[in-house]
Amino acid sequence: MIRLLFISTGLGVGGAEISLLNLVQNLDRDRFEPHVVSLTDRGPIGTRLAGLGVPVVALDLARRPLAGVVDLVRLLRRMKPDVVQTWMYHADLLGGVFARLAGAPRVAWGVRNGELRAGVDRRSTIVVARLCAWLSAFIPRAIVSCSHTARDIHRALGYRSQRFVVIANGFDLSQFKPDASAADALRAELGLPRESAIVLHVARLHPHKNHHGLLRAAAMVRRQRPDVHFVLVGEGVANDTVALTEMITAQGLQAGVHRLGLRADAARLMAASDVLVLCSTTEAFPRVLGEALACGTPCVSTDVGDARDIVGECGRIVPPGRDEALAAALLELLGLPAPQRQELSQRARARAEASLDIRRVAREYEALYLSLAEEAPCAA
């Protein structure tokens, strides 16, 4: 039995944390024994992991830094994991360093970010990433990137090139799947006519996600197609968010934008939509694109991270920051005749089945962990 210790910066509801949950859910439990540590709190993902019978420890380092570090070192020495997999920058730094100091030599880092930008990303995050670049020569035996683009960005930051392994995100295709009843149900929920078209955007409210650009493009679309409605899902996009309300009002979109906030039924919303749009200015591996394809929903995305490779021929890719191009791509897909839209939907699902199944991704991680566990230990 291979003992795995996952150390994550946190276990809130985010793309990186959901990817961790999906991986742990699909590990072969006859061969791997996973444990999970959060540097912060337990969060919703920690609760779900515990419900799967996975031991979860929350260190709460912000409130109890010294005690939290002591707890982590004690856990490492008691458990003696065969492999430590860290997840996101702060876990790569702190989890990696203390794992090595506690005598756990086989450490794999997890790189989940794309480009970091001063003035947009937290200064502390940028500093930690740069420290990790320097330590990458000493701490990890492998650096797992979720995308080729993220790998190249971090190589340019100074991360040790030869340690990288690219393993894409995977998705539960039994959860994310076409649902013929979802479209009518969502339109009924929103009070929309059955013949209206829905464009779905799933992202937290953050400058990288470019809600300003989305709404400018939405206004262009609505001028030509008033029947098109934009549904916004994610943290910070609920109706009580003043900044987003001002953006919507400025574009005259009060009747055309529906803000649902955080939702637990993302798969149903994707299956109910005609198009999923991603307009980010930077990404690594945008999970929402893979989820949408699995639901048979074509995508319009900016050319960020590995978006082009994910979408393939199942949507349209436009340059970041080009609102007119984004609107034109949306109008093009929404204007396809019904037979072509059906063919595109079937192609999207087939693409997800061929390359985005979480079971295949989990086997790739397992192969990496087995190879690390079989390596001879090296000194801390």
Domain of 224, CATH number, reads: 3.40.50.2000
Question: Residue 122: CB partners within 8 Å, gap ≥ 6?
Answer: none
Task: Decide if 94 contacts 62 (C-beta within 8 A).
Answer: no
* CA-based R_g, the chain, Å: 21
Residue pointed to by tokens 């013949």:
195
Comparing 378 with 62, which gets the higher pLDDT? 62
Task: Provide the number of structural domains found in the chain.
Answer: 2
Does residue 204 sit in the same domain as residue 351? yes
Q: In which band, very low, low, confident or very high, does the pLDDT at 376 lie, cut at 50, 70 and 90?
A: low
Does residue 197 sit in the same domain as residue 87? no
- Each residue's pLDDT tens digit, 253-295: 999 999 999 998 999 999 999 999 999 999 999 999 999 999 9
| Interior angle at CA 362, CA 345 and CA 204, nearest 5 | 60
At 190 the pLDDT is 97
- Each residue's pLDDT tens digit, 193-239: 999 999 999 999 999 999 999 999 999 999 999 999 999 999 999 98
> Does 379 map to a domain?
no
Beta strands in 179-298 (DSSP E): 197-202, 228-233, 257-261, 275-278
> Does 176 map to a domain?
no
> Does 211 map to a domain?
yes
Does residue 72 sit in the same domain as residue 193? no
> Does 262 map to a domain?
yes
> Does 337 map to a domain?
yes
Average the pLDDT over 35-50 and give the result. Answer: 96
The distance of Cα 296 from the centroid of its chain, to the nearest Å, equals: 19
Q: What angle, rounded to 10 degrees, do the helices at 323-334 and 211-224 form?
A: 50
At 287 the pLDDT is 94
Domain around 259: 182-355
> Does 217 map to a domain?
yes
At 240 the pLDDT is 81
Q: Structure pTM? A: 0.89
Residue 100 has pLDDT above 90, yes or no: yes
Does residue 290 sit in the same domain as residue 188? yes
Does residue 194 sit in the same domain as residue 324? yes
Task: Count CB-CB contacts under 10 A for residue 348.
Answer: 26
DSSP-assigned letter for residue 208: G
HSE, side-chain direction, 13 A CA sphere, residue 244: 24
Beta strands in the chain (DSSP E): 2-8, 32-38, 56-58, 83-87, 107-111, 142-145, 164-166, 197-202, 228-233, 257-261, 275-278, 299-302, 315-318
Does residue 314 sit in the same domain as residue 370? no
> Does 30 map to a domain?
yes
DSSP-assigned letter for residue 180: T
Does residue 73 sit in the same domain as residue 103? yes
Greatest Cα-to-Cα distance within the chain, rounded to the nearest angstrom:
66
> Does 175 map to a domain?
no
Does residue 18 sit in the same domain as residue 115? yes
Does residue 79 sit in the same domain as residue 151? yes
Does residue 153 sit in the same domain as residue 11? yes
Q: In which band, very low, low, confident or very high, does the pLDDT at 377 lie, cut at 50, 70 and 90?
A: low
Judged by DSSP in three states, 41 sits in coil
Residue type, 113: N
